[in-house]
Amino acid sequence: MWAEVLTIIGVNIALIAILATLMIWVVNKLDGDVKAIGTRMDSFDRRMDAHAQRIDQLYKMFVDLLKGLK
């Protein structure tokens, strides 16, 4: 009887250890993915700012061209 109880306790401890390891792995994986998304968003923001500056410059050049035609 004690052998069965110890077996059940051992199996439960092993399952808890496996689940804890899996949870730690998942949290670390998600953390890495979230950080990667943040890095990509920063890069995207910088590119969009550069596009906006070029559009502003083109608009200014267009306005200057219209002023020159008058």
- Residues 1-56: pLDDT tens digits? 889 999 999 999 999 999 999 999 999 999 988 888 888 888 888 999 999 999 99
Q: What is the pLDDT of residue 59?
A: 95
Report the alpha-carbon distance of residue 27 to residue 29 in Å, rounded.
5
Q: What is the pLDDT of residue 6?
A: 94
pLDDT band for 64, please (50, 70, 90 cuts).
Answer: very high
Beta carbons within 8 Å of 17's beta carbon, 6+ residues apart: none
**Residue 68 to residues 5, 58, 63, Cα–Cα distance (Å):** 94, 15, 9
Q: What is the pLDDT of residue 13?
A: 97
